[in-house]
């Protein structure tokens, strides 16, 4: 099996870097939010973090099962993610924070789509099945965040 799933392994490691970084972005939103919707949105960020952590763990374990080695340092995440972070700022309004989350989750959705295509090419249907579920969950988060912003899911 050595070398058989190299493209899938690379995609899974990309997802590890991206999900780890997205977790930091969600944490920042969680910690720096203020306003009248705090009590509704603060626990929602906990849910998002729990879901991301579950996805991260399953992806890393699948990568190991395929003979790969997951990124496991902050530096590896920074060096390999396509997401950007910014310094915490108390003056960013909640709608702007949510819009930033939408963009980050859209990026993750696109990475999941790439992984679906690569796993199809590698004929790794068990990994593809896992990724399909995560993409579906991500689509739902985008829909929910877009609804908060008064937008349609695909805007």
Q: Which long-range contacts (CB under 8 A, 24 or more apart) does 55-60 make?
A: 55/15, 55/19, 55/134, 55/137, 56/16, 56/19, 56/20, 56/23, 58/130, 58/134, 59/12, 59/15, 59/16, 59/19, 59/130, 59/134, 60/12, 60/16
Helix, coil or strand: residue 72:
coil
- Averaged pLDDT for residues 25-53: 96
Residue 1 lies in a domain: no
Query: Given this model, what pLDDT does residue 154 score?
Result: 87
The number of folded domains in the chain is 1
Q: How confident is the model over 98-116, as a mean pLDDT?
A: 98
**Quick one: pLDDT at residue 51?**
98
pLDDT of residue 1 exceeding 70, the answer is no
Residue 102 domain-assigned (yes or no)? yes
Query: Does 121 map to a domain?
Result: yes
pLDDT above 90 (res 155): no
Residue 12 covered by a domain: yes
pLDDT at 3 over 80: no
Task: Domain of residue 67: give its range.
Answer: 6-148
Give percent of the chain above pLDDT 90: 95
- Residue 78 pLDDT > 80: yes
Residue 48 domain-assigned?
yes
Looking at residues 26-36, what average pLDDT do you find? Answer: 95
Average pLDDT on 99-123 reads 98
- The confidence band for 2, taking pLDDT boundaries of 50, 70 and 90, is low
- The CATH number given to whatever domain includes residue 143 is 1.20.1260.10
Q: pLDDT tens digits for 136-153?
A: 999 999 999 999 999 998
């Amino acid at each position: 099996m050595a070398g058989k799933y190299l493209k899938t392994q690379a995609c899974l490691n990309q997802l590890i870097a991206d999900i780890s970084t997205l977790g930091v972005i969600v944490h920042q939103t969680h910690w720096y939010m203020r306003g009248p919707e705090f009590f509704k949105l603060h626990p929602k960020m906990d849910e998002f973090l729990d879901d991301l952590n579950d996805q991260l763990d399953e992806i890393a374990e699948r990568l190991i099962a395929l003979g790969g080695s997951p990124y496991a340092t902050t530096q590896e995440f920074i060096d390999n993610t396509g997401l950007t972070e910014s310094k915490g700022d108390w003056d960013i309004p909640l709608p702007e924070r949510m819009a930033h989350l939408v963009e980050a989750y859209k990026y993750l959705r696109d990475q999941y789509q790439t992984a679906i295509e690569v796993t199809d090419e590698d004929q790794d249907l068990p990994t593809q099945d896992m990724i399909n579920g995560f993409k579906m969950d991500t689509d739902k988060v985008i829909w929910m965040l877009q609804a908060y912003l008064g937008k349609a899911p695909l805007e």
